[in-house]
């Protein structure tokens, strides 16, 4: 039993080959793909929606102090995220990862385009525009939300995985730090 779990000398030497230097020389293509996936997962915007959903949903309301719509929609975003993440446990094993990533990115783009059209062209306080953010959670949860960490762990060695996860956390930090200043500079409403 112990012999099965212990690494052989060859395994240890092979693992030592994956230094940070090797990540950016010999394995740079795979490393950059893993780092790109880590950044994209955060820059898709779920953290901004989760953190600032009340502000997003309050925008355009005629009487935000007496309207419970933002709180209800914020609760629904969290509930939808949990439900769709659990649904991804069924969806992910049935489709190829590449297919799910492409499907998810296209669907996220389409839902955000519809959100922008409804919010800008029709009226910024339409419930339909705000509901599109709830719909957006589904393609995120079954694609990049569910697959990013699995793909990173599959394609990178431990040192690369830890670097990608660090980049993922830093990207999330940047999204949360800069969403409000960017939204205010473009007069988000």
Residue 166, C-beta contacts closer than 8 angstroms, at least 6 positions apart? none
180 pLDDT more than 80:
yes
DSSP SS3 for 7: coil
Task: Summarize pLDDT for 115-146 with one digit per residue, the tens.
Answer: 888 877 766 556 777 788 888 899 999 899 88
% of the chain surpassing 90 pLDDT: 33
Report helix angle 127-142 to 97-117, nearest 10: 170
Residue with tokens 């230097």: 21
Cβ–Cβ < 8 Å for 50, 81: yes
Cα–Cα dist 54/89, whole Å? 28
Mean pLDDT value of segment 60-66: 63
Mean pLDDT value of segment 157-162: 88
How deeply is 143 buried, as exposed, middle or buried, from its count of CB atoms within 10 A (0-12, 13-18, 19+)? buried
Cα–Cα dist 108/104, whole Å? 6
Cβ–Cβ < 8 Å for 163, 35: yes
What is the rounded average pLDDT for all residues in the chain? 81
**Selected residue with higher pLDDT from 95 and 21:** 95
Chain centroid to CA 59: how far?
A: 23
Report helix angle 69-91 to 127-142, nearest 10: 30
């Amino acid at each position: 039993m112990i012999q099965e779990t212990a690494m052989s000398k060859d395994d240890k030497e092979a693992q030592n080959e994956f230094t940070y230097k090797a990540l950016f020389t010999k394995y740079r293509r795979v490393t950059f793909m893993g780092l790109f996936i880590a950044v994209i997962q955060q820059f898709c915007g779920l953290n901004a929606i989760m953190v600032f959903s009340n502000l997003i949903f309050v925008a355009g309301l005629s009487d935000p102090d007496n309207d419970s719509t933002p709180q209800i929609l914020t609760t629904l975003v969290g509930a939808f995220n949990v439900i769709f993440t659990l649904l991804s446990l069924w969806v992910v094993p049935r489709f190829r990862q590449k297919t799910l990533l492409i499907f998810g990115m296209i669907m996220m783009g389409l839902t955000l385009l519809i959100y922008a059209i409804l919010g800008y062209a029709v009226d910024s306080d339409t419930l339909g525009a705000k509901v599109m953010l709830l719909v957006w959670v589904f393609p995120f949860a079954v694609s990049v939300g569910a697959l990013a960490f699995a793909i990173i762990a599959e394609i990178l060695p431990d040192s690369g995985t830890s670097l990608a996860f660090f980049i993922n956390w830093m990207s999330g930090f940047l999204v949360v730090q800069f969403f409000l200043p960017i939204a205010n500079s473009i007069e988000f409403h």
